[in-house]
Chain A
Amino acid sequence: MVETEFAPLAALAGGALIGVASVLLMAVKGRIAGISGITVRLFPPYSDGDLAGRAAFVLGVIAAPLIWLLVTGALPVQTIEAGLGLLLIAGLLVGFGSVWGNGCTSGHGVCGMSRLSARSFVAVATFMTTAAITVYVTRHLV
């Protein structure tokens, strides 16, 4: 494992920006800023005419490290320890589970908990638990 530094101020500031973006999306489009829900709706079947807006939002998230590169001169630090095979399996599970459960860390974690949604608290408690168990097993048992 690669050690990382606990950076509470950067974490709070970044979190606040995520919050600002979530509030703005609600104010502008009346939509929950749930990454999994917005991403899966880039694909058919389409239920409304909002495809361009969703695509623009997703492109904005994807473009963020490039803006970071322009401003700071370096891409954000990114240490991916998992091999391609594991990434393939993890990707399937993350994609399937987030849509099956109607949300991920953004939709349930940020927006849902902000709205005091009981479903979102259950979702967050559940994915935190299985994620922590998975990390425990892969790092300390296997």
Chain B
Amino acid sequence: MAVLIQFAIGLIFGVGLVVAGMSDPAKVLNFLDFAAIPARTWDASLAFVLGGAVAVTAIGFRLVLRRGQPVFGTAFHLPNARAIDARIITGPAIFGIGWGLAGFCPGPALTALGAGTLPAITFVASMLVGMIAARWLAERQTTAASLTGA
């Protein structure tokens, strides 16, 4: 049951991306092209997508987190990292360069995969390699840090 519900939630997420037009890399790149504002070819849609999503989530999280626990599970898993360390700059900096090159971030890349085109498959396969590499490197660093007591 929980698995089916999570499929449905993923579907809502993906349909949201499609409705918003974010599954189209051209719309994303046209938002990121701020130099296009004077030429009036700038597409501000992405800001409205993010705004709409944050408005709903900010209110929804507040209501949900008042409950003691999730429907399936014993606790809410909220990130507890607070430090503004190097990785919170370097990671997003690298991510942003890739995002600006192709117009795909991970969610829209997955919805693109559903359409089954070669460019989408290429991007997602490469993205998975990058993700696994980052996780491997991060865990190696953590292990090294705990061994040296740092």
Within B25-58, the residues touching A (CB, 8 Å) are: 25-27, 29-30, 32-35, 41-58
User: In the complex, A68→B22 CA distance in Å?
Assistant: 14
User: Counting CB contacts under 8 A, is B150 at the interface?
Assistant: no
**A102 with B79, Cβ < 8 A, contacts A19-B52, A62-B111, A128-B96 known:** yes
> A-contacting residues of B (Cβ < 8 Å)?
2-27, 29-30, 32-35, 41-58, 60-61, 63-65, 67, 69-73, 75-79, 81-84, 87-107, 109-115, 117-120, 122-135, 137-139
Report the contact-size class of chain A (Cβ under 8 Å from the partner): 35 or more
Interface centre among B8, B20, B91, B135 (most CB of A within 10 A): B91
User: In the complex, A117→B81 CA distance in Å?
Assistant: 9
User: In the complex, A3→B36 CA distance in Å?
Assistant: 11
24 contacts between A and B (CB under 8 A): A7-B21, A11-B20, A11-B49, A28-B2, A57-B10, A59-B7, A62-B113, A64-B13, A64-B114, A65-B115, A78-B24, A78-B112, A89-B98, A92-B129, A94-B102, A97-B134, A98-B105, A98-B134, A99-B135, A102-B91, A110-B54, A115-B78, A126-B93, A139-B33
